[in-house]
Amino acid sequence: MESSSFPVPSLPPPTRKNKRFSAIMMVALLLVGLVIGTAMGYAITYADFNQKLTNLQTQVGLTQAPSSTSQQTFILNDNVSLSSLYSQVKPSVVVIQDLEPQYGFFGNLAGYSLQQGSGFLTKVNNQIVIVTNNHVIVNAINITVTFSNGDAYPAKVLGSDPQADLAVLSISPMPTGVTPLTLANSDALQVGDPVVAVGSPYGLSGTLTTGVISALGRTITEDSATSQNGQTIADIIQTSTAINPGNSGGPLLTYSGNVIGITTAGISNSQGLGFAIPSNTIIRELPSLVTTGSYPNHPSINAVGTDMNYQIAQAMGTSVTYGWLVESVSVNNGLKGGNTQATILGSSVTLGGDIIIAINNQRITNTDDLLSYLEQHTLPGQTINFTVVRNGQTQTVSVTIGKA
């Protein structure tokens, strides 16, 4: 069987125009693919980011409240709105301004400097008063109080206590409709509790900052420029809330709007740390400050001492590395001072005295524990049981509390 063949028609060679069209098609397809790939990548990335953001908000207890308007309100745990809290307490927080005399080299009056702080309204014995720091008004004249609505009034000092850096002011007449803030129990505070400060840092009135309780029972020494002699103050709240000059005297608040402290900015080189006088100190002193102008019941053990540590324990031949070493006692109150001088870690220490390790069975670890316990739980004239290590033996001694 024979095969037959047919001529195959020849195609014309591709033209330059056809080549250009093919190249354009390829570029177009690449661009479309790139656009689609980018869109899919963005969608995946956005979904992943949104999920991470939601997880983060859940971890810190921050949620966004639904709103039918363009404004957004952030709600904290327990349905606390910071903006609502701010609106609630702002009218009760005031700016305090006064003039502080400046003296020349020979003690002559050289002029006056303007100083500013904060304060807040509270009530004692059915009387509304203004609480602030003592260092805001000490030695000052022409004290004025300005409310958040701009109304200003001259003020007078009812009482002050440099040892707690507290002062109480009054204005007459007190404006109608003002709301005093409630003083809460600061003994209920725990490290990590969230807090809010409202005040006038650097003259910026009505400023709100937030943070947490960083530590309790601190002992601080205020600058000599802001207190007469570098006053040591016990039982202090430490907070991560930003406290700057001008915040002094403003309230430290819980998320419910109750005062648990009064902020102080009298500490130099304390960036990143805030301090506050606890509300229980205010509660304890306020009636006396208003009625008598002072508070006379700060306790003291009339002793000089230092915190125990490993090096001091080694030098004394004891295994007790905590507590407060009594170096000297100025009165006969039941405690014993030391009798041997030694240089330890570059400092002179008098060894051989009592090591205070507990008061009324409450462990005393250092100076903070000692002074905070005395301030919170003792009064001058009381006799209190101290647990001490004396001559290597642990014993209980009765100590008469003196007046600071």
Domains: count for the chain: 3
Residues 271 and 207 in one domain: yes
The answer to whether position 78 is within a domain reads: no
∠ Cα 258 260 264 (to 5°) = 125
Residues 137 and 202 in one domain: no
- Residue 5, pLDDT above cutoff 90: no
Q: Report the pLDDT averaged over residues 141-161.
A: 94
The answer to whether position 384 is within a domain reads: yes
Q: Report the pLDDT averaged over residues 52-72.
A: 41
The answer to whether position 147 is within a domain reads: yes
Residue 251 CA to residue 257 CA, distance in Å, equals: 10
Q: Report the pLDDT averaged over residues 363-375.
A: 96
Find the range with the poorest average confidence among 104-118, 135-149, 370-384. Answer: 104-118
Residues 220 and 160 in one domain: no
Single-letter residue type at 99: L
Catalytic annotation present for 224: no
Domain boundary among 258, 292, 326: 292
Going by C-alpha positions, the residue among 259, 250, 267 that lies closest to residue 201 is 250
Catalytic annotation present for 92: no
- Residue 17, pLDDT above cutoff 60: no
The answer to whether position 82 is within a domain reads: no
In this prediction, residue 156 has a pLDDT band, given cuts at 50, 70 and 90, of: very high
Residue 28 CA to residue 306 CA, distance in Å, equals: 81
pLDDT at residue 273 in the model: 79
Q: Which residues of 301-321 are buried (b: 16+ CB within 10 A; e: fewer)?
A: bbbebbebbeebbeebebeee
Place of tokens 């327990």: 78
Measured between alpha carbons, how far is residue 269 from residues 32, 120, 223 in Å? 60, 26, 10
Catalytic annotation present for 298: no
Q: Report the pLDDT averaged over residues 361-390.
A: 96
Residues 375 and 303 in one domain: yes
Note whether 120 and 130 are within 8 A (CB).
Answer: yes
pLDDT at residue 270 in the model: 56
Q: Report the pLDDT averaged over residues 231-248.
A: 85
Residue 24 DSSP SS3: helix
Q: Among the options 165, 235, 354, 368, which is catalytic?
A: 165
Residues 269 and 321 in one domain: no
Residues 288 and 344 in one domain: no
Residue 372 CA to residue 341 CA, distance in Å, equals: 28
Note whether 262 and 195 are within 8 A (CB).
Answer: no
Q: Report the pLDDT averaged over residues 352-375.
A: 97
Residues 349 and 370 in one domain: yes
Residues 331 and 390 in one domain: yes
Place of tokens 């330890």: 344
> How many CA atoms does the CB half-sphere of 122 hold within 13 Å?
26
pLDDT at residue 25 in the model: 61
Residue 390 DSSP SS3: strand
pLDDT at residue 72 in the model: 39
Which CATH number do you get for residue 367? Answer: 2.30.42.10
Question: What is the percent of the chain with per-residue pLDDT over 70, rounded to a whole number?
Answer: 75
Report CA torsion sign: 286, 288, 294, 296: negative
∠ Cα 142 144 146 (to 5°) = 165
Q: Report the pLDDT averaged over residues 219-227.
A: 62
Residues 240 and 315 in one domain: no
The answer to whether position 80 is within a domain reads: no
- Residue 206, pLDDT above cutoff 80: no
Domain boundary among 268, 292, 316: 292
Residues 261 and 354 in one domain: no
User: Which of residues 131 and 114 earns the better pLDDT score?
Assistant: 131
Q: Among the options 98, 118, 135, 279, which is catalytic?
A: 135
Residues 239 and 258 in one domain: yes
Note whether 130 and 169 are within 8 A (CB).
Answer: yes
Q: Which range has the top average pLDDT, 140-154, 191-205, 208-222?
A: 140-154
The answer to whether position 83 is within a domain reads: no
Which CATH number do you get for residue 260? Answer: 2.40.10.10
Residue 370 CA to residue 401 CA, distance in Å, equals: 13
Q: Among the options 118, 186, 227, 248, which is catalytic?
A: 248
Question: What is the percent of the chain with per-residue pLDDT over 90, rounded to a whole number?
Answer: 60
Residue 313 CA to residue 376 CA, distance in Å, equals: 29
How many residues does the structure list for the chain? Answer: 404
Q: Report the pLDDT averaged over residues 256-270.
A: 79
274 has which bridge partners? 239
Residues 98 and 116 in one domain: yes
- Residue 18, pLDDT above cutoff 60: no
pLDDT at residue 262 in the model: 95
In this prediction, residue 70 has a pLDDT band, given cuts at 50, 70 and 90, of: very low
pLDDT at residue 246 in the model: 74
The answer to whether position 46 is within a domain reads: no
Domain boundary among 254, 273, 292: 292
Q: Which residues of 178-198 are buried (b: 16+ CB within 10 A; e: fewer)?
A: eebbebbebeebeeeebbbbb
The answer to whether position 10 is within a domain reads: no
Q: Which domain covers residue 134, as residue numbers?
A: 92-170
Work out the mean pLDDT of the chain and round it to a whole number: 82
Q: Report the pLDDT averaged over residues 295-299.
A: 95
Q: Report the pLDDT averaged over residues 255-272.
A: 78
pLDDT digits (tens, 9 = 90+) for 308-338: 999 999 999 999 999 999 999 999 999 999 9
Measured between alpha carbons, how far is residue 393 from residues 317, 334, 399 in Å? 12, 16, 17
